[in-house]
Amino acid sequence: MSALLSFARFEVVRLLRSWKFLAITVGFPVVFYMLFLGERGSGQVIDGTVPWRVYLMVSMCTFGALVAALNAGGSRLATERSTGWARQLRITPMPAWAYVMTKVTASMLVVLPVLALVELVGLTFGDVRLGIGQWFALTALLWVTALPFAVLGVFVGFMVNAETAYPVVTALMFVLGYFGGLFNPVSQMPQALQSAAKVLPTFHHALLALEFLSGQTLGGINWLILVGYTAVLGLALLWKYRVEEARGLA
């Protein structure tokens, strides 16, 4: 346990020091949000339940969480692995699960400031008005449900190398973002794309928050799909780790 804590602290310190990485990761979704804000009127109501401005903020939170998790897990991890440092760590007595868990936790930590900043923009420029309790509950919900993104990020970091990480992460970001209905409401998409959206974690991540904000009960199916993604990706990650261990790679 003390090994896990030492490694976690080491990782967090390293993360906080890489301010360029943090600035880009946190700044990107915020800038994206601002661009969308400038483009659209805010009077529209989506699917008869939530105003466009709320829909947009939630979508950008989801997008921000995705970007943060993919950058922290995917690109950063792939680069780190290419240096051989991960291999060096693997010969220490630190258990495999501690390594993977720390990486997922570190990604989750990066997600949090992204959510806070996007919400701040929502509050100041986005014309989103919520009670203080609602803000906190929304943040907590968006954060907890970002776990499948964090696991996905680390999984991607394990699957790609330093060169392929960038295109893969970018592709995932836009495929999951666009088809998950983060840039355009799913209900305004063609029928085929609508059914595609319903299997993507981004769609369900945003939908849970929207359900919460419009006072509906949170859909069990949304939770189930997010938990499913976390479990499947988590198992895939474990498998990948085992295969590498057997081959003596990292």
Partner 1 sequence: MLQTGTGSGLPPGVKVSEALELVRRLYAHPASLTNTVAQAGISSLLGCRTNALSGGEAQRVRFALAIAGDPELVFLDEPTVAMDVEGRRTFWRMMRQFGEEGRTILFATHHLEEADQIADRVIVINHGRVVADGPGATLKAAVTARHLRFVITNPDPDRYDRLEGVTDVRISGTGVTLISLDADATARDLVKSGVDFKDLEVTGACLEDAFVALTERTRCREDDGPG
Among 35, 91, 132, 246, binds partner 1 (CB under 8 A): 91
The residue range among 52-60, 91-99, 114-122, 128-136 that interacts with partner 1, by the rule CB under 8 A, is: 91-99
Task: Write the DSSP string, 63-80.
Answer: HHHHHHHIIIIIIHHHHH
Q: How far is the CB of 19 from partner 1 (least distance, A)?
A: 10
Element spanning 26, H or E = helix 19-39
Among 30, 89, 112, 116, binds partner 1 (CB under 8 A): 89
Site for partner 1 in 117-176 (CB under 8 A): none
Distance CA 95, CA 135 (A): 38
Give the nearer residue to partner 1 in terms of CB position, either 14 or 40: 14
Q: Rule CB under 8 A: is residue 6 a binding residue for partner 1?
A: yes
Q: How far is the CB of 211 from partner 1 (least distance, A)?
A: 40
Q: Rule CB under 8 A: is residue 219 a binding residue for partner 1?
A: no
Task: Write the DSSP string, 191-231.
Answer: HHHHHHHTTSHHHHHHHHHHHHHTTPPPPHHHHHHHHHHHH
Distance CA 169, CA 67 (A): 8
Distance CA 77, CA 65 (A): 17
Among 12, 30, 34, 94, binds partner 1 (CB under 8 A): 94
Check: CB of residue 169 under 8 Å from CB of residue 156: yes
Q: How far is the CB of 91 from partner 1 (least distance, A)?
A: 5
Which residues, 6 or more positions from 198, have their beta carbon under 8 angstroms from its beta carbon?
186
Among 28, 80, 193, 211, binds partner 1 (CB under 8 A): 80
Amino acid sitting at position 221: I
The residue range among 11-19, 56-64, 196-204, 225-233 that interacts with partner 1, by the rule CB under 8 A, is: 11-19
Q: Which residues bind partner 1 (CB under 8 A)?
A: 2-3, 6-7, 10, 13-14, 17-18, 79-80, 82-85, 87-89, 91-94
